Structure 1
Amino acid sequence: MPEHDLVVIGAGPGGYVAAIRAAQLGMNVACIEEANALGGTCLRIGCIPSKALLEASELYKMAQHHLSEYGVTVGDVKLDLPAMMKRKDTVVTGLTNGIAGLFRKNKITRYTGRGRIVAPGKVAVEGAQPVEITAKKIIIATGSRSAPLKGVEVDGTMIGTSTEALSFPEVPKHLVVIGAGVIGLELGCVWARLGAKVTVLEYLDRILPGMDTEIATEAQKILQKQGLEFRLGMRVTGARVKGAGCVVECDGQPPIECDRVLLAVGRLPNTDDIGLEKLNVARNQRGFITIDPHSFETSIPGIYAIGDCIPGPMLAHKAEEEGVACAEGIAGKYCHVNYDAIPGVVYTDPEIASVGKTEEQLKDSGIPYRKGLFPFIANGRAKAIGRTEGRVKILAHAETDRVLGVHIIGAHAGDLIAEAVAAIEFGASSEDIARTSHAHPTLAEAIKEAAYAVDGRTIHM
C-alpha cells in the first residue's frame, strides 16, 4: 500500500497549489484527480476557457464596430467559431499540461480516479487502476458544481450549465440566461457579442447580488446598452426542450421561447460520495464542510478542507490562498487567510472588480465611513484608449481613514484592483493611496483621484 505524508483529493486551484506548496516544504505528496486533465473546473471548464472566449468575442466586436474610430479600416469581418473554440481549447490544454509539469518538477505522485476517504489516514482511489493509499494528513479540495433549479430540465445540450455554454457549436439566435451573477453575465456577454439575442432572468431586483449596489446599477445600464435584456424579479418555474428549441416559464409571465438556455444560479460543494458520511465529517445544511478557521482542519483530526467545498467566496484565488495556508499550517508554520482582502472580478466589458466591504455592508454594520468617487471619463489614459465608461469608488473609515472597500467598474478593473487589495492587506489609509505616486498617463491614476475624493480634494474633476 503506497504511503505518503499528505494526500490531496482534487487538483483544482486549491488542491494543486496545496500539493505543490507541501512538496516545497519537504513532504511526500500525492494528489488524486478524477479528470484526466489537471486544473479542476476553473482551468478546464470555467475561469480560463471563459476568459479566452471573452477576449476573442471582444476582439470580434471591436473589429466589427469600433476599429474605425481609431483610424483602422478593415474589410468584411467574419466569425470563425470553430477556430475561436480551437484557440480556447489550446489555451486550456497548455495550462493543464503545465500543471502536470509542475507535479513532475515537485515530485508529486498523481493518481487518476475518484478519491474516497475510507478511514482517517486512508484513501481509496476508484478508477481504471484502483488502489488504497495511506497518508498522515488528508486535504479535501473537491471543488463545486453548478447548482440545479427546480423545474429546469438540464439535458446537457439545449438546456445546460456553464460547461455547455463554453462550447456551443453555433451562435444561438436567442439565448436565455437564468441568473444575473458573474457566470451568467460573462457568458451572456460572450454570445451577445457574437450575435445572439440574450435575455437574462434574475429572481432578485438587481444584478450581481453581493456586489456594491451603486457599481452593479451602473454595470446594468452599460450592459443594457450593449444589447443584453434584463428581466428582474422573475421567478423561473420551469425550462424544457420543445421541438427544435426551448421554452422557459416564469411565475405570472408569458412563456419565453428560445434556442438555448444557460442555467447559472450558483454552485454547490462537491462533498457527496467521498466518504464524509461514514466518518461523520461535519457539514452545514448546504453541504459545505465545517472547518477550524485557524487550521482548515475538519471535525476529524488529520483531515483538512479548502476551496469551494468550505464556506466563503467560491473563487479560484481564494482556494489558492487556502491551499498555501493549509499546507504551511500542516508543516507547522503560520496559517492564515485574510478574507477581507480577497478580490472579486467580473470579466465583462467593462470589467467590474471589488475588494473589502460594500457601502451596504458598512451601513448595515453601523460603521462610519467616507466615500470617494472618480469617473474614468476624467482620466487621460481612459480617453486616449477610448475606454471612458465606469468609475472608482473608495470607502474609508470616517475616523481612522483606513480603506475598508474599493469597487471599480472600468477597463482593466481586474488588474487595477490589485493595488486596493494590497492597501487593505497592509491597513493603508486613503491618504496613503493619495500620497503614492501613480505614473501618468495610466488608468491607475483614477484610484489616486478617488483617494483624493475621500477627503474632498479631487484634482482633475
Structure 2
Amino acid sequence: MASYDVIVIGSGPGGYVCAIRCAQLGLKTACVEGRDTLGGTCLNVGCIPSKALLHASHMYHEAHENFTKMGIMGKSPSVDLGKMMEYKADTIGQNTKGIEFLFKKNKVEWLKGWGKITEPGKVQVGDEVHEAKNIVIATGSDVAPLKGVEVDEKVIVSSTGALELKKVPNKMIVIGGGVIGLEMGSVYSRLGAEVTVIEYLDRIVPGMDGEVAKTFQRILKKQGINFVTGAAVQSATVSRNKAKVTYQLRKDESSHEMDADIVLLATGRRPYTEGLGLAEVGVAMTDRGMVETDKHWQTNVKGIYAIGDVIAGLMLAHKAEDEGMAVAETIAGQAGHVNYDVIPGVVYTTPEVASVGLTEDQLKEQGRAYKVGKFNFMGNGRAKAVFQGEGFVKLLADKETDRILGCHVIGPMAGDLIHEVCVAMEFGAAAEDLARTCHAHPTFSEAMREAALACGDGAIHA
C-alpha cells in the first residue's frame, strides 16, 4: 500500500495544478486519472480543442471575407474537416503530453485508473488501495441532461461529439445560448452550416452585461447565426439520421418544430462525482449535487477537500486552477486564498467577449452610485486595420472613489485585454490609475485606457 501526503482525484486544470503545487511545496503527491491522457475535460474535449477549431474556422473566414481586401489574391480555400480534426488532435496531444512532462519534472505520481474514496485517508484505484493524509476531489463536471433530449453523439451531440463531427452539417441546431453553444455554433457557422440557437431565456449569455449581450447577439446574427429566444425545448428526436426539435415559445405558448442534421445540446454542465464513494464516506452534498465545502475548501470529513466544478461557483478552468493552488498552500500550512470577485469570464468567438467584476445591472440592484467609461473599438486604429472595429470597452467605477468595480469588453483580443483590469482590481486601483498608465500605440489595449479616460474628463479618440 503506497502512502502519500496528498492524493488528487482528477487531472483537469484544477487537479493537475493542485498536484504540481503540492509537490512544489514539498508534499509527496499522486494524481488519479482514468483517461489515457492527463488534462481532464478541458484539455481533451473542452477548452483546448474548441479553441483550435475556433482558430481554424476564423482563418477560413478571413480567407474568404478579408484576404482580397488586403490584396491577398488567389483561389478561395475549401474545408477538409478531417485535416482540421487532425490539427485539433495534435494540439490536444501537445498539451496533454506537456502535463505528463510537468508531472515527471515535479515528481507527481500518476495513478492510472478511476479513484474511489473507501474511507478517510484511503483511495482505491483499480485493485490497489493507497493511503493519503489529504485527499483533494477535482473530478470536474459532465454535460447536464435535458428532458426529452437524448444524446447519442452522432446526430444529437454534446460538446464532446461536436468536436468530432465527420462533416460540416447543412443545418445545425444549438440548444442553449451560453458560452459552449455560441463557440461551437460559431465554428460550424463559419465553416458553412446554417446554425440556429434556441435559448430558454429572452437573451443569450445569461449573467453577462446586458448591453454587451445585446451587441454580441446582433454581431453573431450579422455573421449568419439565427436565434430563437424565450423558447423551451420539449424534445429532440432522430429519424433516418436527421433530427427534429420541438420547442414552445414562452410568450404565447405556441409550439414549433425545426429540422436539422445535427443538434448540439449545450444547456450547461453538472458536477461529476459518480463512483467516488462520497455518500459511503459521509461527505456532505448540496441540494444541487455539489460537494459542500468550508472557506478552506475542506468538506465535512476531515482531510478531504474539493475544488473546481464539483463545488459551488463558476465552472471555469481558471477558477479551478486558483482553488487548486490555494488548497495546496492550505494543506502545506500556508494561507491559501482565492479572490472570487476578480475572476474573468471569456467567450472565444470573433469578436471575443470578456468580463470581470460587477455588471451595471448588479450595481443598480445594489443601489450603488457608479460611473461608466465607454470606448468603441471603431476609434482604435489597430482594430480598424484588422477589420474588427465592432464592439466596445465598458469600464465601471465607483462614483465617489473612482475605484474600478468591473469591466466588460466585446472586441478583438478581449480575453487577453481584460487581464490588465483584473490586476488593477486586485490592487484596488482607480480608473484614473489605468488612464494615466502609458499604453503602446498602436495596440488594442489603448481601448482600455480610453475607457478609463472616459470615466474622467473624456476619451481622446471618441
TM-score category (smaller protein): over 0.9
- Tell me the SS of whatever aligns to 2:125: strand
C-alpha distance in 2 between matches for 1:326 and 1:53: 33
Give the one of 126, 132, 136 matched to 1:135: 132
| One-letter amino acid matched to 1:69 | K
Q: Give the alignment's TM-score, normalised by structure 1.
A: 0.98
Contact kept? 1:433, 1:448, Cα under 8 Å: yes
Shift of 1:400: 1.1
- Tell me the SS of whatever aligns to 1:459: coil
- Residues 370-418 of structure 1 deviation map (CA, whole Å, 9 limit, x = unaligned): 1110000011111222210100000001111110000000011011011
- Tell me the SS of whatever aligns to 1:371: strand
Equivalent in the alignment of 1:22: 22
Percent sequence identity is 54
Equivalent in the alignment of 1:110: 110
Shift of 1:456: 4.1
Equivalent in the alignment of 2:271: 269
Give the aligned CA root-mean-square deviation in angstroms. 0.8
- Residues 222-252 of structure 1 deviation map (CA, whole Å, 9 limit, x = unaligned): 0000000000001000001122200001022
C-alpha distance in 1 between matches for 2:363 and 2:213: 17
Equivalent in the alignment of 1:183: 180
C-alpha distance in 1 between matches for 2:71 and 2:457: 39
Query: Do structure 1's residue 156 and structure 2's residue 157 form an aligned pair?
Result: no
Contact kept? 1:63, 1:74, Cα under 8 Å: no
Equivalent in the alignment of 1:82: 82
Structure 2 counterparts to residues 27-46 of structure 1, below 5 A: 27-46=27-46
Q: Which stretches in structure 2 are left out of the alignment for 5+ residues? A: 249-253
C-alpha distance in 1 between matches for 2:76 and 2:383: 28
Structure 2 counterparts to residues 168-207 of structure 1, below 5 A: 168-207=165-204
Equivalent in the alignment of 2:66: 66
C-alpha distance in 2 between matches for 1:74 and 1:351: 29
Equivalent in the alignment of 1:325: 326
C-alpha distance in 2 between matches for 1:260 and 1:440: 45
Equivalent in the alignment of 2:222: 225
Equivalent in the alignment of 1:6: 6
Give the one of 244, 249, 267 matched to 1:247: 244
- Tell me the SS of whatever aligns to 1:124: strand
| One-letter amino acid matched to 1:21 | R
User: What is the aligned residue count?
Assistant: 457
| One-letter amino acid matched to 1:287 | G
Equivalent in the alignment of 1:432: 433
| One-letter amino acid matched to 2:270 | L
- Residues 20-57 of structure 1 deviation map (CA, whole Å, 9 limit, x = unaligned): 00000111101001111000000000000000000000
Q: Give the alignment's TM-score, normalised by structure 2.
A: 0.98
C-alpha distance in 1 between matches for 2:76 and 2:403: 53
C-alpha distance in 2 between matches for 1:417 and 1:124: 42
- Tell me the SS of whatever aligns to 2:315: coil
Higher mean alpha-carbon deviation, 390-399 vs 251-260, is at 251-260
Contact kept? 1:288, 1:310, Cα under 8 Å: yes
Equivalent in the alignment of 1:338: 339
